[in-house]
Amino acid sequence: MFIDIQNMSFSYSNSPANAVEDFTLTINKGEIISILGRSGSGKSTILRLIAGLEMPKGGSFSLGDKTLFNNHIFVQPEKRGIGMVFQDYALFPHMSVQDNVLFGLPKMSRSNKLKRVEEVLELVELEGYEKRYPHQLSGGQQQRVALARAIAPQPELILLDEPFSNLDTELLVKIREDLRRILKKANITAIFVTHNQNDAHVLADRIVKIKDGVIDQVGRPCDLLGSSTDEKGDIELLPEKELVSV
Amino acid sequence: MNRRIANVNGWTIGAVLIITLLFVPNLSIVTGIFTPASENWGHIREFMLLNYIKSSLTLVFFTAIFTVAIGLSLAWLIAQYDFPLRNFMKWSLILPLSIPPFIGAYTYHGILNYTGIIQKTLRNHFDVSVNQAYFDIMNVPGAIFIYTIFLYPYVYMITRIFLSNQAASLVESARTLGKGPMEIFLKVIVPISRISVIGGVSLVILEVLNDYGVVKYFGIQTFSTAIFQTWFGLGDLDSSIKLAACLMGIVIFILVIEWILRGGKKYSFSSTKLRPLPLVKLTGKKAALATAYTLVIFTIAFLIPVLQLLDWVVLTFGKVPMEEVLTYTKNSIIVAGTAASLIIFFSLVIGNFSRITKHKFAKILPKLTVLGYSIPGAVIAVAVVTTFIAIDRYLAPVYLFLGLDSELVLSVSLVMLISAYIIRFFAIGYNSIESGYTKIGTDFRDASRMLGVSSLRTFFKIDIPMMKGAIISGFILTFVDILKEIPLTLILRPFNYDTLATKAFQYASDEKIMEASQASLLIVGVSAIAIFVFNKLLGEGRE
Amino acid sequence: MKKSIMLLLASLLLVLAACGNSTKQSSNAGENESQKKNEKSEVNLYTSRHYDVDNELYKKFEDKTGIKVNVIKGEADELIERIKREGTATKADLFLTADVGRLYRAKEQGLLQAVSSDILSKQIPEKFRDSDDMWVGLTKRARILVYNKDKVKPEELSTYEALTDDAWKGRVLVRSSESVYNQSLLASFIGIDGEEEAKEWAQGMVNNMARSPEGGDRDQAKAIAAGIGDVAIMNTYYLGQMLNSQEPEEVKVAEQLGIFFPNQDTTGTHVNISGAGVVKGSKNADNALKLLEFLTGEEAQFTFAEANYEYPVNQDVEPAELLKSWGEFKEQDIPLTVLGENNAKAIMIFNEVGWK
């Protein structure tokens, strides 16, 4: 198994109840997983736990042949080799597009770095935007820069937190397809969190439904959601913003 | 086990160390609460405490109200509107902070008293004698006036930065809902600025509680009078430390109230996209009114006192030794600059620790450092001297080994003075840095770490550049405050070491306000340049 | 960089944690060092006098003797506390202050050592030297009455005590009780008349005040000119400074005032001193003594008098012309130590009678 998560659980320090309980999941290389659930179901927390931004109460997690956490080990997020696209992208406002992408690249020659930036920007179809600053970009463009930035260091796994929540519908359809194309082309394993069934249906190879911090169902999109996308998915698209934890 | 250790990182160690160091000297004061009362205590309680607390609270209450009214209204005007002179006023309205309140008090009294410019002119040129009661500033309302005009910039500065950065979408949605400016101010601006206003006004309150210069000159008896009467007059330092500990208790009480007013939590904004508030251009009468209002405040709080000081500098020119002025100025800039930089650096470490550590004590621990700001400087000085002498005693073998021919090395060096500044003014720098951290939240940091960048590099590459505004304003506030600081500098400086503030005090304490004008004006000048330069930096960072 | 800073902090913390134990050790080491110290020619001064003229005198002393004068200025009680806490290790050699009460306090706390020399005995009258030779006076200031020449005839004035008569109701001006000059004035009355009468006087003064105390001595003089009150208590040298002010209006005010030395037929006008004592742990006691001899010598005494309008303690030196023009006067005849002894009592009385 490429990714092996066993019995991962988590609770916030201010509440005794587990926000995530016994989360167990294995993922193949190159697979795209969607974690689907209503807001407050604990799906974003699962993503943050995998990323290493929260410390789990118990369980284990390995990626390839590396153990990233178990009862004895906790690898800091920057050492995990996992990329992440944040819900509101978190593009560094004081850096240009190029600098944002450059920021995460490992040590190599400057010319190699620039080449890599060129590659990933081409992948997300943003050639020529190197010198722009985040606030000069549209929402869709920002999202693609965030994706390029996350892909650039060639992570073994990429996490996407509600990647489409800030996009308008027209843009959404295009970007959703682009994203799947890009991920598949680069053969990147991905986990993305969404509350929207359509997103999951179009993008995922497999869907994990979450309810109250516990896995409700796991399966292929067509098995779980039926063959066709219904309108319900889009209706559920509520503006969900979370208070950033302090 | 490794997992737990992984969580106790460098930030925690650094922060706990710094907090401990800042707190240790205060310990001797905290323990003062528990020392048994001396034979003077009964007298102090009966004749001093109650009345003095009453006048302290009167001063604090009204100063707080007026500084909020002026600070908030100015912040709103400058953040939201464009009118003639706005860009000049934007930073000039901070300038009154550069005038030490006791110098301001002497200056205003100098203007208004019998031999002052107003009465003199009326008497000699118009043969008008005025009722002295109208020109007497040396009373409680006068002190409130002095504190208000020289301290409102705390509220103004902190609130303005908040409003320009945070209020855009709220103000705009209020406008689309058809609300007028007054309604927006009362229903949107006031509630959302609450946190920064409280942050600013709590600094004002602490300044007022601790001030001794103004009340002593005006003959108003406050809590700090009681502390110094007990020490200097009754020669009973233990009781005065006990009083200082009581004051500390009051301050903690105020901090708890602040915390409750904030609803027990801090908000971080839900969006990482910060958008500056766009300016609304005022025209005609409204523009004139806005300009007039800011101009009046600026004139009263800065222009008039400075012109009077300038007049005195000319009057005493040649009477005051000039040759060493450059040295004093240099000394002032160096110690204030060093201490302010260290404060900001330490604040960044502690603030980051507090931000990234989920544990509750990480939020409470940094609050302890505010205690240094809650006690009169002279009392802290005693605590600091005690601590440094202890350190020197401990290091004596080292000094001997190094061939130094003295037992006291640190305690007769600038290290002691700078440490004392850090203990005293840490809260001011930290306030600013903390709000900076709150503003940027943790998303950018998380994003950076997810890109494989270490916590430390993230700190330098992401957090610090993004907090430029908070860092600069924190630096200005502490720098300017240290520049005008008196009691610590006076008692803790090394031999033959003078700063502008000690020079100004030397004359003012001997009722030679005219001779004090030169050094006072230089304090104002240095502060003004600092404020101007950093405001430029800040402005460019924003665009 | 972060690591090294943390190391530094960690080491400091260790220092703090362990500081209690090593006190004794180091003070032994200190004694060895103090012998080495004498070779250096310097003298370290802790002073609460903030006058420019003092600096000039130190410079003159340096030129004359080659002994470098190092200065820390601060409030007297803060300096006392610092010397106390520095203990035997202190760098202070000479403690200088503008109130005899503070000299008394330093002596009481065991911070001073006795010094004497023929020169000192010759230059300073016995009255202005401590009975145990722990301190000597440098300059005198008298606390006098000034009055509005238009409204008050000098014959109406007599003593400090008379100011509490009903005739002066609402006419007396005096600064707050936080002023050390007022404290020592009341302390002297406690010494002369006893606590009861002193308290009565303070109460009487409060009853007769033209306004609640505010401002400094100069402000009392101005209040007379402004017509707020008719008679004020102030120090001689403030009046001297006003008469020589750069602000012509202040000169005018001072010139309008009548000057009266109270209690000439009774106990004498209250006099306080500036003075100095050699610190117990002094490493340069010889140099400190030399500085004391210099400061009470004719040249320095003349400078004090001329530049600062203080009365010299050295009787061979004449006061400044201005002070001489006010005439000679009878001083309170009490040991100055009394002022120190009664200082705390004075404060309590002030508080009790509500003298702000």
CA atoms within 13 A on the CB side of B471: 17
Q: For chain A, say whether B296 makes contact (Cβ under 8 Å).
A: no
Q: What is the pLDDT of residues C252-309, one digit of tens each?
A: 889 989 999 999 999 999 999 999 999 998 889 999 999 999 999 999 999 988 888 8
- Answer whether residue C355 shows pLDDT above 60: yes
Backbone angles phi, psi at B494, to 5 degrees: -70, 170
Distances in Å between the Cα of A12 and the Cα atoms of A9, A15, B450 are 11, 6, 21
Q: Do C26 and B396 touch (CB under 8 A)?
A: yes
CA dist A103 and B49 (Å) reads: 60
Q: What pLDDT sits at residue B303?
A: 94
User: Which B-chain residues 227-266 have CB contacts (< 8 A) with chain A?
Assistant: 265-266
Instruction: Specify the CATH number for B38-315; select among 3.40.109.10, 3.30.70.1050, 1.10.3720.10, 1.10.10.10.
Output: 1.10.3720.10
Q: Is the pLDDT of residue B340 over 90?
A: yes
User: What pLDDT shows up at residue B334?
Assistant: 93
Contact A68, A80 (CB under 8 A): yes
Dump pLDDT digits (tens) for B184-202. 778 777 877 887 888 888 8
Q: What is the pLDDT of residues B224-236, one digit of tens each?
A: 888 888 887 787 8
Non-local CB neighbours of B35 within 8 Å, separated by 6+ positions: B238, B241, B242
Predicted local distance difference test score (pLDDT) of residue B539: 63
| Residue C7 pLDDT exceeds 90 | no
Amino acid at A181: R
Number of separate helices (H) and strands (E) present in chain A: 8, 10
Within 8 A of B138 by CB-CB distance, chain C residues are 214-215, 219
CB under 8 Å to B159, separation ≥6 — which residues?
A: B71, B72, B75, B76, B193, B196, B197, B200
CA of B225: which chain C residue's CA is closest? Answer: C178
Pull the structure tokens for residue C338: 């009394």
Any idea which architecture C140-270+328-353 has in CATH? 3-Layer(aba) Sandwich (3.40)
Rounded to two decimals, the ipTM of the complex is 0.80
pLDDT band at B183 (very low <50, low <70, confident <90, very high): confident
- Can you tell me the mean pLDDT for C320-327? 88
Q: Closest approach of chain B CAs to the CA of C154, in angstroms?
A: 24
Nearest partner of B205 among B45, B29, B428, B379, judged by Cα: B428
Lookup: tokens for B37? 């009362």
B329 close to B537: Cβ distance less than 8 angstroms = no
- pLDDT at position B262: 64
Cross-chain CB nearest to A78 (options B6, B268, B454): B454
Mean pLDDT of all residues in B332-353 = 92
Residue C273 is predicted with a pLDDT of 92
Q: How far apart are CA C303 and CA C336, in angstroms?
A: 24
| A9 and A20 Cβ atoms separated by less than 8 Å | yes
Nearest-Cα distance to chain B for A197, in Å, is 24
Q: Which chain B residues are closer than 8 Å to A74 by Cβ?
A: 2-3, 6-7
Using a CB–CB cutoff of 8 Å, tell me whether B453 touches chain A.
yes
In the chain, the amino acid numbered B390 is A
**Residue of chain B whose alpha carbon sits nearest to that of C32:** B405
Phi then psi for residue B16, to 5 deg, are -65, -40
Give chain B positions within 8 Å (CB) of C104: none
pLDDT, averaged across chain B: 82
Contact status of B447 with chain A (Cβ, < 8 Å): yes
| Alpha carbons B241 and B244: distance in angstroms, whole number | 5
Place of tokens 């840095």: B433
Architecture of the CATH domain B8-32+319-543: Orthogonal Bundle (1.10)
Pairwise pLDDT comparison (B42 vs C60), residue with the higher score: C60
- Picking from A12, A55, A92 by the largest number of B CB atoms within 10 A of its own CB, the best residue to mutate is A92
Touching A: which chains, 3+ CB pairs < 8 A? B
Q: Are strands A157-161 and A20-27 parallel, antiparallel or unpaired?
A: unpaired
Q: Is A86's CB within 8 Å of B447's CB?
A: yes
* Distance set, CA B30 to CA B203, B210, B226 (Å): 21, 17, 18
Instruction: Show me where the domains of chain B are located.
Output: 8-32+319-543, 38-315
The alpha-carbon gap from C125 to the nearest alpha carbon of chain B, in Å, equals 27
**Interface contact C216-B511, CB threshold 8 A:** yes
pLDDT at B247: 80
Question: What's the token pair of residue B350?
Answer: 């502690």
How many Å apart are CA A12 and CA B67, to the nearest integer?
Answer: 40
Please judge whether C214 and B391 are an interchain contact, meaning their C-beta atoms are less than 8 angstroms apart: no
- Mean pLDDT computed over B151-162: 88
Residue C279 tokens, joined: 């610190």
CB environment B29-52: b (16+ within 10 A), e (fewer)? bbebeeeeebebbebbeebbbeeb
CA–CA min distance B124, chain C (Å): 10
Q: Where does residue B480 fall: left (phi above 0), alpha (psi -120 to 50 degrees), or beta otherwise?
A: alpha
* CB neighbour burial string for C240-278, b if at least 16 within 10 angstroms, e if fewer: bbbeebbbebbebbbeebbbbbbbeeebbbbbbbbbbbb
pLDDT, one tens digit per residue, over B76-135 is 899 888 999 998 898 889 899 889 898 899 999 989 888 888 888 888 888 877 777 777
Residue A160: which of A224, A89, A236, A97 has the closest Cα? A89
Nearest by Cα to A47 from A35, A59, A57, A38: A35
Task: Compare C114 and C31 and report the one with higher pLDDT.
Answer: C114
Looking at C209-247, list the stretches that DSSP marks H as alpha helix, in order from N- to C-terminal side.
Answer: 217-225, 236-243
Closest CA to C292 of C127, C61, C6: C61
Task: State pLDDT tens for residues B427-451.
Answer: 888 888 887 887 788 888 888 888 8
Nearest to A198 by CA among A181, A215, A175: A175
Q: Which of C13, C70, C213 minimises the CB distance to B496? A: C70
Question: Which one of B267, B268, B453 has the shortest CB-CB distance to A78?
Answer: B453
CB pairs under 8 A between A and B: 107
pTM for this model (two decimals):
0.81
pLDDT given at position C16: 39
Residue of B nearest to C47 (CA): B491
CA of A12: which chain B residue's CA is closest? Answer: B358
**A190 vs A49: CA distance, rounded Å:** 15
Provide the residue ranges of all domains of chain C, joining segments of one domain with +: 41-139+273-317, 140-270+328-353
Q: Give the list of residues 6+ apart from residue B408 with CB closer than 8 angstroms, or none.
A: B389, B392, C86, C89, C90, C91
**CA–CA separation, C351 and C347 (whole Å):** 6
pLDDT for res B148: 96
> What is the model's pLDDT at position B275?
61
Q: Closest Cα of chain A to B366: distance in Å?
A: 15
Who among A90, A94, A245 is closest to B447 (CB)? A90
Taking domain C41-139+273-317, whether its CATH number is 3.30.470.10 is answered by no
- Length of chain A counted residue by residue: 246
| Contact status, residue C347 vs residue C177, Cβ threshold 8 Å | yes
Determine C/A contact with 3+ CB pairs under 8 A as the test.
no
CA distance A78 to chain B (A): 4
pLDDT tens string B242-299: 888 888 787 777 777 777 766 554 444 444 445 667 788 888 898 999 999 999 999 9
Asked if pLDDT for residue C247 goes beyond 50, the answer is yes
B14 in A contact zone (CB under 8 Å) = no
Write down the mean pLDDT value for chain A.
82
pLDDT of residue B538: 67
Q: What is the mean pLDDT of residues B381-394?
A: 83
Give pLDDT tens digits for C198-238: 999 999 999 999 998 988 898 899 899 888 899 999 999 89
Between CA A224 and CA A230, with CA A228 as vertex, the angle to 5 degrees is 90
List C-alpha distances in Å: B309 to B212, B275, C204: 21, 42, 39
In angstroms, the CA C235 to CA C214 distance is 16
Q: Which residues of B touch C356 (CB under 8 A)?
A: 219-221
On whether the CB atoms of residues C19 and B392 are closer than 8 A, the answer is no
User: Chain A neighbours among B 385-444 (CB < 8 Å)?
Assistant: 438, 441-444
The Cα–Cα gap between C95 and C86 comes to 14
A162-181 pLDDT, tens digit per residue, is 887 767 777 778 778 888 88
Residues near C166 by beta carbon (within 8 Å), at least 6 away in sequence: none
Q: In this predicted structure, what is the pLDDT of residue B269? A: 45
Chain B residue nearest residue C10, CA to CA: B17
Of C71, C175, C344, the CB nearest to B496: C71
Of B434, B533, B537, the closest CA to residue B203 belongs to B434
| Contact residues for C287 (Cβ-Cβ < 8 A; gap 6+) | C41, C42, C43, C67, C93
- Under the banding of pLDDT at 50, 70 and 90, the label for residue B305 is very high
